[in-house]
Amino acid sequence: MRADFISGIVSAIRFTGLILLALGLAACKTEKAADQPTILGIPPSTAYLGVEYYYNFGAYGGETILDYSLTNAPSWLALEDTSNKARQGVIMRGVPGLTGGNRGELDLGKEQDINLVTTDGQMSGVQPFDIEVKYNPLSLEVETFTEGESPEIAETARESCDQPDLEPAGEHRFTINQYDEDGNVTGTTEVTRPTRPVVAKIILKRPSVTRVGVAFELSSEYDPSRCDSGFDDPHQRCDYSEANVGDANVGQDIVALGSNSAAKLEGLEYLTYREDGLGGLVTLEPGVTECYIRLEVIDDTFPEPSEVARLTLTEVRNGLAGLGENNEGTEINLIIDDDEPVLTLKTIAGGTRDALNINGVREYVGTLSGDRDGTFRARLKHSEDATARLGSEFVIEQEQSENVWVENDELVFPEAVDERRFRIRVLTDTYSNPGLNDRFILLGLDEAYQAGRENYARAADGSVLRVSLNELTSALVLNGSDGFVATDFDIAHSGRIFIAGYDSADNDRVRVRIFDQKGNLLQDIAVSDVGEVNNSPQPVIGTVVRKVSEGAAKVDRFEFAVAYSTDATGTDANGGLDVMVSRYWFDSATAGGSYVNNWTIRTGTSGDDVVRSIGINAESGYVSVAGETDGTWPDQNRAGAVDSFLQRIDTELDGDTEVGALAWTRQIGSSADDSVAGGSSVSIAPLLFGSAAGSVNGESVIGGVDAFFYSASGSASTIAVKQVGTEADEPVSGGLYDNNLLWLVGTGTGDYSVEENEEGVNTLARSALNSGSGFVFAYSSGGVLNRAFSVNDDDDVSQERFGAISLFDGDVVVGGATNGAFEAGVTPVTGDQAILARVSLTEASDGAEDTPFRNEWHYQLLEADSEILALGNYRDDEIAALARRGGDQLLLVFSPEGRLLSELN
């Protein structure tokens, strides 16, 4: 009983504790007001006609279950009709143009300040928003079509129609005109040709809730009534006039459905065609956003350029959709490439350029490539840009029988024959050219004749055989009647040949002789004064054409500058050899057009200043001179016995007279004797290059004799010399700067190449040769190696030396002399002989079939005691060379493939 009593007391205490705990917890609780009802999210601001607009709102807050409503909403938009008022959210949906009264396009436009309101009966929340209703736009996508080919249809992530089968060929029958030799229409004929199905994709931006049907049609700008001047319809020059070039003839080049294709191609439920086969209707089922318009490209046999037709969506027949974003129209160009066999015209060696003497004849080859059935033809003719015309300056001949050639400008290729040879013969008796420049042939297809004629070849893109007609058929002897010694030359201004030199029979008087391409002397300019005594002055020359202001217009101004070293006495002599510079310009009003002196200036040090090159900048007209000095120029420091110098001469006005003014001279050298090979005035800052056996301006010595180059912009500007080479000797003897690359040529004993080191930097690599050979390096102005190669005889036994370089048609040409067999298969004469080589800069391909044409050759003039002194490029048509043969100086002309065109006497 005592135990029960005690147990009851404990229970009472526990009960009392629980009551007190509950009361304490109740006393700690704080009441909080319900949150304001708030709608979550912002609906899309764009809706599309015929496309379901849907948005699921969320909300929170309120004391009780929320209710929702729309105010100021368009008629097509409503909240989901649901009796489930327990959900904390609401779905808003509608289809513009359909729901709310089937208003169609009346629902287009922007509705502003639409409000979604939610309330718990006491409190409310509002979400305002705008909706703009737009057209559901239709667009088109196509690839380029090619006759005879059916493309693959790319996979799509869109909901699409069934892809059509493009493998079966269709067929189309149509009528074409027939023409005589002059293009007159002689009748018509009906032809039936296979077709290849192709597709254009039609794309609906958003899936429509209803079926969408849209009409389409084919058209083009082609109009047979647009005739070339002087011709009347009907005529070939109307059907295929210049105005119609590039426009497809709908019904002959492309159709929607071929006349005989219905039974050959599968039927497509979503596609129907018009009776004329030039249009139809495509239907997109609800939910489909991509479908196909199957068209047919006619595989004709006419040679044609790429042609353009137009596919237009003309009308939405069913459903709600827009023809483009603003329903202003949907169309796309259809490009059709031809598949007729292609003709290429080349030299026998595979080149596309050649030069032919005006009394010459030479064979060429036409090659046909591509699939074909039966015999195909190719009618040849000069292009409009050619200056030599078929029939007046040259003819095309084909071999009728062995060694019997007849005039025939149409090549015939039977089915198994893909190559035909023909030759070009210049009409010596009727050839005439009163102009300064040589005429040139641009030979291609007679497209005006071939147009609309079946089974003729088409031209490869850009495939034209260019043949320059050389009029300097005999070597131009430059010192044939006096003591003139040519030292430098350039080609410019309508093919004029500028020869700088001196007259050894007249106190070494400096002269510039200007010849035309025929070798006629146009002007003989005495540069140095009469009575001025020089000592082998070695003049150099540079030419330029500049744009200058003449009133309010920009005109071409032709100039040349000549420089030489002289020790002639005079009030302005500085001691030793001074630099003499004269600039000339072409005055069309003087003596029917001739070069006249602009100014002359003499500069120098107390020592000998030897000029090596001169140039004129095409932009500002400054003249730059590069050379060597054993003196010290003002404000400069002498580094060695012989330093390089680079100077700039500007043109200033003294009253109304232009005068030459020395802007600055920069002297840079090493402790050894430096050799300057040349300079350039192409860039804003002139450039100089050469070689040295020591450290030039503090640069590291690499080998015995290194190449170096630098540019300067003033007498005190920072000079960054680039000293380059290998551990061997690389003496530089010539060079040029073009297209941001400095090309250096010289003579060494190594085989050079470009290697990439671990850091990805190009480095100059060398392996030893057994004999002397030429080298060519190409550097950027910043000193980055771009190219390096050697020019050597195949057997590596003879000694070659090179000092002349020119760029020609994207390649490098170098000239010099050899004491052995430089050209393969020749028997050399005794002593040094002039040599010429073209090195291709085209990268070779690994695959034999894809290897590009590489026009490389060696030429050797089998004349004792001869050499090439300088090179020039005439229009990328001919290589001109200043050569020495014994005591004579000659101007020689070579073809792009290394044939000597100017006969030696």
N residues, the chain: 905
Bridge partners (DSSP) listed for residue 546: 557
The Cα 773–Cα 795 span in angstroms is 11
Q: Would you say 104 and 320 are in contact if contact means Cβ atoms under 8 Å apart?
A: yes
The 10s digit of each residue's pLDDT in 370-389 is: 999 999 999 999 999 999 99
CA 797 to chain centre: 42
| Helix, strand, or coil (residue 695) | coil
The 10s digit of each residue's pLDDT in 739-768 is: 999 999 999 999 999 999 888 899 999 999
For residue 592, name the pLDDT band (cuts at 50, 70, 90).
Answer: confident
The 10s digit of each residue's pLDDT in 406-456 is: 999 999 999 999 999 999 999 998 899 999 999 999 999 999 999 999 999
pTM score > 0.95 for this model? no
The 10s digit of each residue's pLDDT in 277-334 is: 999 999 999 999 999 999 999 999 999 999 999 999 999 999 999 999 999 999 999 9
Q: What is the mean pLDDT of residues 522-536?
A: 93
Close Cβ partners of 24 (under 8 Å, ≥ 6 residues apart): none
Q: What is the mean pLDDT of residues 90-101?
A: 92
Taking the CA atoms of residue 97, residue 100, residue 102 and residue 105 in that order, the dihedral angle to the nearest 10 degrees is -30
Whether residue 864 has pLDDT greater than 50: yes
pLDDT in the model for residue 355: 98
Q: What is the mean pLDDT of residues 474-495?
A: 94
Q: What percent of the chain has pLDDT over 90?
A: 84
In this structure, what are the phi and psi dihedrals at residue 271, rounded to the nearest 5 degrees?
-135, 125
DSSP state of 2: H
**CA neighbor of 882 nearest in space, from 862, 856, 902:** 902
At residue 82, what is the residue type?
T
Q: What is the mean pLDDT of the chain?
A: 92
The 10s digit of each residue's pLDDT in 764-816 is: 999 999 999 999 999 999 999 999 999 999 999 999 999 999 999 999 999 99
For residue 28, name the pLDDT band (cuts at 50, 70, 90).
Answer: very low
Tokens of 92: 């808003």
The 10s digit of each residue's pLDDT in 629-677 is: 999 999 999 999 999 999 999 999 999 999 999 999 999 999 999 999 9
User: Which burial class, exposed, middle or buried, applies to 121 when counting CB atoms under 10 A from its CB (0-12, 13-18, 19+)?
Assistant: exposed
Between strands 137-141 and 124-134, the pairing is unpaired
Tokens of 76: 């097509």
**CA neighbor of 613 nearest in space, from 504, 538, 683, 668:** 538
pLDDT in the model for residue 675: 97
pLDDT in the model for residue 33: 66
Whether residue 539 has pLDDT greater than 90: yes
Q: Would you say 836 and 868 are in contact if contact means Cβ atoms under 8 Å apart?
A: yes
Q: Would you say 260 and 172 are in contact if contact means Cβ atoms under 8 Å apart?
A: yes
The Cα 902–Cα 905 span in angstroms is 10
CA 299 to chain centre: 32
CA 674 to chain centre: 40
The 10s digit of each residue's pLDDT in 123-148 is: 888 889 999 999 999 999 999 999 99
In this structure, what are the phi and psi dihedrals at residue 5, rounded to the nearest 5 degrees?
-65, -45
Whether residue 837 has pLDDT greater than 80: yes
The Cα 878–Cα 616 span in angstroms is 24
User: Which burial class, exposed, middle or buried, applies to 120 when counting CB atoms under 10 A from its CB (0-12, 13-18, 19+)?
Assistant: middle
**CA neighbor of 446 nearest in space, from 404, 488, 386:** 386
The Cα 446–Cα 410 span in angstroms is 9
The Cα 615–Cα 559 span in angstroms is 10
The secondary structure of 800-837, three-state, reads EEEEEEEEECCEEEEEEEECCCCCCCCCCCCCCEEEEE
Q: Would you say 696 and 721 are in contact if contact means Cβ atoms under 8 Å apart?
A: yes
Residue 418: how many other CB atoms lie within 10 Å: 15
| Helix, strand, or coil (residue 392) | coil
Whether residue 685 has pLDDT greater than 60: yes
Please give the C-alpha separations between residue 186 and each of 77, 180, 224, 234, in angstroms, as whole numbers: 68, 6, 16, 10
The 10s digit of each residue's pLDDT in 6-24 is: 344 334 444 444 344 444 4
Tokens of 57: 């709102």
Close Cβ partners of 823 (under 8 Å, ≥ 6 residues apart): 835, 858, 859, 860
Beta strand segments in 509-621, E: 509-515, 521-526, 540-550, 553-566, 578-587, 594-603, 609-616
Q: Would you say 266 and 294 are in contact if contact means Cβ atoms under 8 Å apart?
A: no
Close Cβ partners of 402 (under 8 Å, ≥ 6 residues apart): none
DSSP codes of every residue in 446-475: -HHHHTT-SSB-EEPTT--EEEEEE---B-
Close Cβ partners of 723 (under 8 Å, ≥ 6 residues apart): 692, 695, 696, 699, 700, 701, 702, 706, 707, 708
Bridge partners (DSSP) listed for residue 419: 367
pLDDT in the model for residue 91: 87
Q: What is the mean pLDDT of residues 163-182?
A: 96
Whether residue 119 has pLDDT greater than 90: no
Q: What is the mean pLDDT of residues 42-55?
A: 94
The Cα 16–Cα 455 span in angstroms is 116
pLDDT in the model for residue 905: 82
pLDDT in the model for residue 591: 84
Tokens of 542: 């540079």
pLDDT in the model for residue 525: 97
For residue 508, name the pLDDT band (cuts at 50, 70, 90).
Answer: very high
| Helix, strand, or coil (residue 24) | helix
Whether residue 26 has pLDDT greater than 50: no
| Helix, strand, or coil (residue 25) | helix
Kindly give the residue spans of alpha helices, DSSP state H, lying in 688-775.
none
For residue 89, name the pLDDT band (cuts at 50, 70, 90).
Answer: low
Residue 541: how many other CB atoms lie within 10 Å: 25
Q: Would you say 289 and 204 are in contact if contact means Cβ atoms under 8 Å apart?
A: yes
Residue 520 zone, left/alpha/beta (φ > 0; ψ -120 to 50; rest): beta
Tokens 């020689």 sit on residue: 892
Whether residue 845 has pLDDT greater than 60: no
The Cα 821–Cα 786 span in angstroms is 30
| Helix, strand, or coil (residue 668) | strand
Q: Which of 316-325, 479-488, 631-640, 851-860 has the lowest mean pLDDT?
A: 851-860
Tokens of 410: 């149409």
Cα dihedral across residues 228, 229, 235, 238: positive or negative: positive
Q: Would you say 679 and 686 are in contact if contact means Cβ atoms under 8 Å apart?
A: yes
The larger pLDDT score, comparing residue 60 to residue 227, is at 227
Tokens of 205: 């931006």
In this structure, what are the phi and psi dihedrals at residue 273, rounded to the nearest 5 degrees?
-120, 155
Segment (H or E) for 398: strand 394-401
| Helix, strand, or coil (residue 310) | strand
pLDDT in the model for residue 16: 44
Please give the C-alpha separations between residue 166 and each of 265, 291, 310, 371, 530, in angstroms, as whole numbers: 8, 15, 21, 20, 86
CA 721 to chain centre: 33
